Amino acid sequence: MPDTTPRTRLDTRYSDPAATATDWAEAEKLLAAAELFWISTVRPDGRPHVTPLPAVWSRGALHFCTGPEERKARNLAANPRVVLTTGTNTWDRGYDVVVEGEAVRVTDEARLRELAAAWEAKYGSFWHFEVREGHFQHGAGRAVVYSVAPGTVFGFGKGEPFSQTRWRFG
């Protein structure tokens, strides 16, 4: 179970004088509600790889799935460090959240069933998964599921007052 009580700090170098640190509970709400995340992994030769995907916040961690032969799965096999980013594509309104951590494969069938139900509840019936042999099954394809417990999370408040909050776990 990930540590769910982070140390919170407002970085005054990048925040307006009137800004205050964002509460972790608020950041969790943003992570749970976000529909789209950008995942950054590292290829075996060191080049970055970034792609969008849906994710589910559950039990203090982000969860995503991918085909076992997709680039991000192959990257994670060599280097499990990952960054997941969500927010808005505006500079003066909204809030961006960046989660740094390690992707750990989820294979427990009971947990996978819980996550499959969470995906469908969040994204609708298109994202209905069966669970078979430690994978999500979707039609003829199968996907591996990963959990990313946050190590460090950054929050960027955009607009007046601009702010940068950092949460550290562990």
- 15: CB partners within 8 A, 6+ apart: 157, 161, 162, 163, 164
The ranges assigned to domains in the chain are 7-108+143-168
Q: Which pLDDT belongs to residue 3? A: 56
Residue 4 predicted with pLDDT over 90: no
pLDDT of residue 2: 52
Q: What is the pLDDT of residues 64-119, one digit of tens each?
A: 999 999 999 999 999 999 999 999 999 999 999 999 999 999 999 999 999 999 99
Secondary structure, 3-state, the chain: CCCCCCEEEECHHHCCCCCCCCCHHHHHHHHHHCCCEEEEEECCCCCEEEEEECCEEECCEEEEEECCCCHHHHHHHHCCEEEEEECCCCCCCCEEEEEEEEEEEECCHHHHHHHHHHHHHHHCHHHCCEEECCEEEECCEEEEEEEEEEEEEEEEECCCCCEEEEEECC
Backbone angles phi, psi at 99, to 5 degrees: -110, 120
Question: Rounded to two decimals, what is the model's pTM?
Answer: 0.95
Q: pLDDT of 42-57, one tens digit each?
A: 999 999 999 999 999 9
> pLDDT digit string (tens) for 11-42?
999 999 999 999 999 999 999 999 999 999 99
Q: Quick check: 1 pLDDT over 80?
A: no
Question: What architecture does CATH give domain 7-108+143-168?
Answer: Roll (2.30)
